[in-house]
Amino acid sequence: MSGLRGFVRASTEDAYYLGFVVVWLDIHDSGLNRVFCGVGLSMYKDKRIGVVVPAYNEEKLIRRVIETVPEFVDRIIVVDDKSTDRTAEVVNEFSERRNPKVILLQRGRNSGVGAAIISGYRKAVELGIDVVAVMAGDGQMDPEELESVIEPVVQGEVDYTKGNRLFTGEAWKRIPRYRYLGNAVLSLLTKIASGYWHVADSQSGYTAISLEALKTLQLDRLYKRYGFPNHLLVMLNVFHFRVRDVPTQPIYNHGEKSGIRLEKVIPTLSWLLVKCFFWRLKEKYIIRDFHPLIFFYVFGLTMVPLGLLYLVFIIFSRAFLRDLTTNRAVIEFALMLSTPAALILDTFVIHFGLLMLLFAMWFDMEYNRDRK
């Protein structure tokens, strides 16, 4: 039997170097049941590992990214999002001459990083990859950390992991300040929208996901551009998948070019997260399962805005109305609605609404406590 095991190992190694196809091996009496197919099946703890590399105009960095992917990775799926430079040519040259593990997918039009990742995910599902990681084509993810990113998914502890660059104090020093602050705002909004209150650094693209999760998620409905990781977290929560943060190091200023404009991204993603928040409440707490926290959110989200609007009316009536109109009936009516008693009542409504929101968030945290 030891000789047979040696033959199995030798066959897989020959397949890697020569590009042969190893067909079916089924050894029941030894407990060694495995299917080898395709080129370069390395396996990591009996799991096939794939890496999706979304790339747009990364001709200068994409070669380094591919070269540094760890040996245990079975497939490197590079998705060229209609680059205008030589990104696709560089990948093709590299795969043909040096690395048969590399698969190049070329999109017909530029649709955003989310669309590129979705294309890579679909290919990984087609290939039957057990754990699929994402590493950007700009080299901002340390390949030495890939093992720690995929490990919880490989072990079946969680369904999705994501890098968190904020665990250490180095993030404040290494990440450009405007991006750090923008990330902080979006991370807070993503916690509320997704229900994963234990995760941070929502914009980190260094992730790993299980094949089961990919087969379950509605990939076509995911946001196609920069808000993809935020929307993905929301959908993962609706389907009750477990998510965990993994500490990673931020890498910047090594030749990458960022096309992100925070003045445009933050309003766009904030609106996306608002829509995702209400969609999650509807799907998770009304349609799929009813939870009373929905009442707390409804009361809180109704009382707080109305209370704030009435507070603005009171302040306006008392401070500015006499300067804007001489109509005595209008002034008397406004003053009647803005008495000290009305102010006290309005303050109570605002505070009560805030309390309802806090209770709703607390219920949400408790409901999702086991999703990590």
Question: For 58-107, how does the pLDDT look when each residue is reduced to its tens digit (9 = 90+)?
Answer: 999 999 999 999 999 999 999 999 999 999 999 998 877 777 899 999 99
DSSP-derived letter for residue 124 is: H
275 & 255 share domain: yes
> pLDDT tens for residues 287-301?
999 999 999 999 999
**Quick one: pLDDT at residue 257?**
58
Same domain (yes/no): 66, 153: yes
Q: Provide the domain count of the chain.
A: 3
**Whether 58 and 36 share a structural domain:** no
On whether both 8 and 149 belong to a single domain, the answer is no
pLDDT tens for residues 138-195? 988 999 999 999 999 999 999 999 999 888 777 777 777 777 888 888 999 999 999 9
In the prediction, which pLDDT does 25 show? 34
Q: Is residue 372 part of a domain?
A: no
> Is 360 a residue whose pLDDT tops 50?
yes
Among residues 286, 302, 335, which one ends one of the domains?
Answer: 286
CA angle 169/361/293 to nearest 5° reads 160
Is 17 in the same domain as 82? no
Q: 128 with 24, same domain? A: no
In a shared domain, residues 222 and 341: no
Answer whether 213's CB lies under 8 Å from 138's CB: no
Of the residues 252, 286, 320, the one at which a domain ends: 286
Both 264 and 359 in a single domain? no
Mean pLDDT of the chain: 86
Q: Mean pLDDT throughout 207-222?
A: 97
Residue 87, CA atoms < 13 Å, CB-side half-sphere: 23
| 93 part of a folded domain | yes
pLDDT value of position 47: 96
pLDDT, one tens digit per residue, over 242-285 is 999 999 988 775 555 555 666 778 889 999 999 999 999 999 99
Does residue 97 fall inside a structural domain? yes
User: Do 323 and 197 lie in a common domain?
Assistant: no
- The answer to whether residue 355 is domain-embedded is yes
Separation between Cα atoms, residue 18 and residue 329, nearest integer Å: 92
Q: Do 153 and 227 fall within a single domain?
A: yes
Task: Report how far apart, in Å, the C-alpha atoms of 152 and of each of 83, 124, 233, 304, 330 are.
Answer: 34, 19, 17, 41, 66
pLDDT digits (tens, 9 = 90+) for 30-58: 333 333 344 556 689 899 999 999 999 99
Residue 329 lies in a domain: yes
**Residues 308, 241 share a domain:** no
Whole-number Å distance between alpha carbons of 30 and 225: 48
Task: Say if 126 falls within a structural domain.
Answer: yes
The answer to whether position 352 is within a domain reads yes
Are 202 and 327 contained in the same domain? no
- CATH number at 194 reads 3.90.550.10
Predicted structure pTM score: 0.83
Q: Please state, in angstroms and rounded to a whole number, the distance separating the CA atoms of residues 53 and 76.
A: 7
Confidence check: pLDDT of 12 > 50: no
Is residue 332 in some structural domain?
yes
Q: Which domain holds residue 98?
A: 42-286
